[in-house]
Amino acid sequence: MKVIIVGGVAGGATTATRLRRLDEKAEIIMIDRGNHISFANCGLPYYVGDVIKRKEDLLLQTPESFNKRFNIDVRIRQEVIEIKPEEKKVLIKKVDSGEEYEESYDKLVLSPGAEPINPFKNLKSKRIKTLRTVEDSIEIKEYIRNNNIRDVTIIGGGYIGVEMAENLINYPNLSITIVQKGSHLINPIDEDMACFVHRELDKNGVKLILNNSVNEIKETEEKLEIVLENKTIETDFVVLCIGVRAEITLAINSGLKIGEKGILVDEYMQTSNKDIYALGDAVMVKNSITENIGYTPLAGPANRQARIVANNIVGKTSSYEGTIGSSILKIFKYSLAITGLNERMCRVNNINYKTIIISQNSHAGYYPNAKLITIKTLYNDANGEILGAQVWGKEGVDKICDILATAIKMKMTAYDLEKLELCYAPPFSSAKSPVNILGNAIVNQIEGLVDTITWQKTEELKDKEGCCVLDVRTSEEYEKGKCEKSMHIPLDEIRNRIKELDKSKEYLVYCRTGLRSYIACRILKQNGFKVKNITGGYYLYSVINSKK
């Protein structure tokens, strides 16, 4: 059997090595038009920021090492320019010489990846760069250092944009601005959780321009002028992080079925041609929760798809069950982890959902240096099934989100979260893990022990007659900061001062994180009062309002 793999990095290289482990006698040819067959593209921003010191550390394999260990014919700086499905041949062009030749195949694997979106290609300027390859990262690094650059503007506030901002802000005397078309950075999260990201970037000197799309970039003798919707700004250098577009030209020209954003494949990663497979950033796959076909260019799914492709090529039937979009991002001293659906996705797909936000210590509070973790979870109000989560904090974020990702994949409910037996010792967690507490909190809502309300809805209601915001924190906490127009009764005084409250009103109750306010709600509800617990507490309120 002869297999040709188009493209390396996560998808192509993993397919090749899995295939070799399954079939020692297969002829495997891997073709890539770049200089490197396997490199850590997720590490490129950290190389720009000198966190990763040596370029060589990004190179996972060389053509020579690949061939020596796996007996794979690796051909770099060569490009497949045409597929001839009827003949089961590809036309290959050598990048340096322009020489063309044909190669036959039994099975063909397309792993061309995705290219950064650049709407300003007509402006040929060394001051505008995208980030995709090792060479791109070297050019960005060297240009900033060698050309007295003092101001860098990052267009696009997704994962790569935020990572670039974090890494470039450490350059001496360099000012960093992120321009984002939407109302918040990191599109997969909700606006309330994005406030944590905005605050941390602001604290570290990164400027944000939100709700502004870029209409044009002009180059003058010394500067770039960025024409936004409502103003023009000047900068020395631009890094485009708008997003990526699947490399599908080859597939289109070959007559393969194409979706809105990528190549269409079945559950076996097989294209509309039974002898051609595709994977990674080039394909569209099913979302495990909505079951809709979408585009999720992440390294984790690409690696899993590669294993499935190799299995199916040798007749070991395997299927890809879809993705839930689990990811994590370092933002200075904090981490942001995401899995499953956000509120927008639930609304678009008409999914019945509710949200809850809790904040818990990363480990036992009496053990030194516990850090607060904030968890926003979306769940089905009918059965408690977990739909999505966004987790923010300084430690333990990956652990919490991985548990919730597993819960989503296995269609677990809040009742299942309550029952999980997770590791505990004071330096690592609490006897009741934040995940257990999350389950408790959701079950409390489902079973009617408490109803919750968001700060957004609270802001809409607090000035209306019949509504009152009640702060149940201590007097010391209240004096340091409070929600406007809130009345104050500390939790421990609620029972003795209950006559000060009016049963004709609805009380929207908050404490620092939501636990004490839940206790207050239980006291008041059992005494005949209408109450709602404000999810996220004053901690979230202070973050949301930190720039107001």
Angstrom distances, CA of residue 165 to CA of 183, 226, 245, 525:
18, 18, 22, 48
On whether the CB atoms of residues 201 and 165 are closer than 8 A, the answer is: yes
In one-letter notation, the amino acid at residue 481 is G
Q: Would you give the DSSP letter of residue 309? A: H
Bridge partners of 178, per DSSP, are 154, 208
With a CB cutoff of 8 Å and minimum separation 6, the contacts of 306 are: 10, 11, 12, 13, 14, 15, 18, 111, 279, 280
511 has catalytic annotation: yes
Relative to beta strand 107-110, strand 2-6 is parallel
- Rounded Cα distance between 112 and 26, Å, is 22
H-only helix segments in 218-374: 249-253, 299-313, 343-348
Angstrom distances, CA of residue 298 to CA of 144, 303, 319, 405, 492:
28, 9, 18, 15, 49
With a CB cutoff of 8 Å and minimum separation 6, the contacts of 101 are: 91, 92
Bridge partners of 109, per DSSP, are 5, 277
State both tokens at 266: 């079945």
State both tokens at 358: 């809790």
Spell out where 40-136 has E strands: 59-61, 73-76, 78-84, 89-94, 100-104, 107-110, 114-116, 128-130
Tell the residue number behind the tokens 């019945």, with chain if given. 352
Angstrom distances, CA of residue 523 to CA of 307, 351, 440, 512:
55, 33, 18, 18
On whether the CB atoms of residues 319 and 286 are closer than 8 A, the answer is: no
The catalytically annotated residue of 195, 241, 511, 521 is 511
Tell the residue number behind the tokens 């995401």, with chain if given. 338
Phi, psi (deg, nearest 5) at residue 126: -75, -10
CA 315 to chain CA centroid, Å, is 34
Residues annotated as catalytic are: 511
